[in-house]
Amino acid sequence: MAFDPKILSFFCHWCCYAAADSAGVARYQYPPNNRVIRVMCTGRIDPRFIIEAFYAGADGVLVGG
């Protein structure tokens, strides 16, 4: 079986989260491997969150500002 990575993303409400919505409106297609946590700003991201994500088993963590 091909490896299907599990990715956790933190997206900024104003930027990347909005871009992700626009991508939807425009019906762009991308791989379904990421799961999203919305934050109001990437400034909210604490190193703890990233480590917790890996601890929880994420193969990759993407922070989108």
Partner 1 sequence: MAEVTRRILELVGLNLERFRIDWASAAEAPLFVKIVTDFTETIKKLGPLGEAEGLDPETLKLRLAAARELASQSRFRAAYGNLARELKKAGDYSPEGIRARVEQKLVPIIKKGLLEAEIKHLLSKGPVSIDALLEKTGANQEDIVPILEALSKKGQIEKQGDVWQPKAKE
Partner 2 sequence: MEAGRSPNIEIITLAELKELSGKPGNFKAKLHIRPRYVDPLKCTSCGMCTTYCPKEVVDEYNERLTFTKAARIDYAQAVPTVYYLDEKECLRLQHESCQLCANVCGPNAIVFDQQPEERELEVGAVVLALGFGRVPEEVLEKYGYGKYPDVLTSLELERLTCASGPTEGEVIRPSDFAHPQRIAFLQCIGSRDVTCDNGYCSSVCCMYAMKEASVVKEHLPEAQIDLFFMDIRTQGKGFDEAFNRAVEKYGFRTIYARVPRVDQVGRRLALTYVTEDGKTHRDFYDMVVLSVGLDAPADAEVLSQRLGVELNHYGFAKTRVAAPLETNVPGIFVAGAFQGPKDIPESVVQAQGVAAECSELLAEVRGKDAIHKEFPPEDEELERLEPRIGVFVCHCGVNIAGVVDVKEVARYAASLPGVVYTEDVLYSCSQDTLNELVKKIRENRLNRVVIAACSPRTHEPLFQETLREAGLNPALIEMANIRDQCAWVHAEDPEAATEKAKDQVRMAVAKAARLAPLELQRVSVTPSALVIGGGAAGLQAALSVANQGFEVYLVEREAELGGNLRRVTGLLSGEKPQKILEDLIKQVESHPKIRVYKGTTVENVSGYVGNFTSTLRREEGSEVINHGVVILATGGREHRPERFGLGENERVLTQLDLEAELERRGGKLSRARSIVMIQCVGSRGDDLKYCSKLCCQQAVKNALRIKKRYPKKDVYVLFRDMRTYSFSEDAYREARKAGVIFLRYQPESKPELITKGKRLAVKVYDALLGEELLLPADLLVLSVGIAPGENEEISKVIKAPLTGDGFFLEAHAKLMPVELPVEGVYVCGLAHAPKPLDETLAQARAAAAKAAIPLAKGFVEVAPIVSRVDQARCIGCGICAELCPYGAIEMVKVGKRKKAQTITASCKGCGICASHCPVLAISMGGFTDEAILAQIEAFGAFVEREAEGKSKEEKAA
Please tell me whether residue 14 binds partner 2 under the rule CB under 8 A: yes
> Using DSSP, how many helices (H) and how many strands (E) does the chain show?
2, 3
Nearest to 12 by CA among 32, 46, 37: 37
Binder to partner 2 among 2, 25, 63, 64 (CB under 8 A)? 25
Binder to partner 2 among 2, 35, 60, 63 (CB under 8 A)? 35
The widest CA-to-CA distance across the chain, in whole angstroms, is 38
Binding-site ranges for partner 2 (CB under 8 A): 1, 4, 6, 8, 13-14, 17-18, 20-21, 23-25, 27-30, 32, 35-41, 43-46, 48-49, 52-53, 55-58
